[in-house]
Amino acid sequence: MKRARVVVLPSSFPGPGSPVMGRLETAGIEVVTNPHGRVTTEAELLELLPGADAVIVGLDPITRAVLEAAGSLKLVVKYGTGMDAIDLDAAAALGVAVRCTPGANTVSVAEHTLALLLAVARRLPEAMGQDRVRPVGRELQGLVLGVVGAGMVGRQVLTLGEALGMRTLAYDVRPLPGAVPSLPQLLEQVDVVTLHVPLLPDTYHLIDEAALSRLRPDAILINTARGGLMDEPAVATRLDAGALFGVGVDELELKDGPLRRHPRVAYTPHIAARTRESAQRMATACVDHVLEFFGEDARTHQEARDPGA
C-alpha cells in the first residue's frame, strides 16, 4: 500500500526529530516540509502539492486551482482557525476534507491582544528608543472594553480585560446572554474595541467610516484577527484627525498602506499565535487530524468551518 504523503507548510511547525513529527513518521507517513521557509504562493503550491495526500497549511492560499492541480489531495488541515485562505466551496465540491485546530492558539492570541492594547495605551510606538520623547499614555482600569466576536479568543480577552479592572461588553452575530444586540450599539459605548471575527464577505471592512464615526474621539482600536476587517485608509484618516487615540494591529490588508509606520499604530507582522506553546498545541492537533483521517476509522469527507476566531 502506498504511504500517505503529507506536506507541512507552516514555518513554526516543529521540525524533523521533534516528537510531533515523529508521530507522523512512526505511523509510516511520508512528510515533506516547506522548502521556501515562508508562506507559499499559489504558483509554488501548484508545483509542491501534486502527489500529496494531505497538507498542513498556515496562511498559504489553498485556491480552487491549487486543489484541482493537487490531484490526490484528500485532506487540508489548517494550523490555526482562520479559514479565509482556503476555498471551502471548492474543497467540498472536490471531496477534500478540511479541518482546523480551534482553541489551540486561544491563549496566545488573547495575550497578544492585551500586549498591543497596553502598547497603544502607553504610546510605546512613539516612545521606544527615545530619550526625550515622553508621550502621555492612558490607564486601562475603568475603561470600557468592547469585544467584537465572542468566540474562544474573544471570551479570553474579556477575562483578561476584567482582570485589569476594565468594564466589558461583547457583540457577536450569534445571540448570546448579556451581549450587546448590535455592533453600532457596542461601538457607541466603549473606550476600546477589539476584533475577533473571521474574515468573510460580510465582515470585510466591518470597521469602516460609518463604524469609526460611532467611536469616542479617544477610542483605541485593536485587531488581532484579519487585516481586511478594517478600512485602513479610513482608520488612518481618523488617527490623523485626532479622532482615535491609537491602533494596534497584527495583520494589515495594505502591507505598505498608511498604518504600516504610523506613529500611533502598534503593528506586528501576524505573530499573535506564534508562541512555542501555541505552536506545539496547533501542531499536535494537526497531527491528530492526519492520523485520525488516515486511520481505519477515517471518514471520507468532513468540511470544517471556522468556529469563531
C-alpha cell at 149: 466576536
State the Rg of the chain over Cα: 21
Catalytic residue chosen out of the listed positions 226, 238, 264, 274: 226
Give 244's Cβ-side CA count (13 Å radius). 29
Concerning whether 112 is annotated as a catalytic residue, the answer is no
Q: How far apart are CA 262 and CA 76, in angstroms?
A: 37
Catalytic residue chosen out of the listed positions 23, 138, 216, 270: 270
Concerning whether 251 is annotated as a catalytic residue, the answer is no
Q: How far apart are CA 199 and CA 118, in angstroms?
A: 25
Three-state SS for 242? Answer: coil
Three-state SS for 154? Answer: helix
C-alpha cell at 80: 490555526
Concerning whether 296 is annotated as a catalytic residue, the answer is no
| Strands across the sheet containing 192-195 | 167-171, 144-148, 192-195, 220-223, 246-249, 265-267
Q: How far apart are CA 198 and CA 203, in angstroms?
A: 7
The secondary structure element, H or E, covering residue 153 is helix 152-163
- Cβ 215 vs Cβ 244: under 8 Å: yes
Catalytic residue chosen out of the listed positions 111, 253, 260, 292: 253
* Active site residue ranges: 226, 253, 270
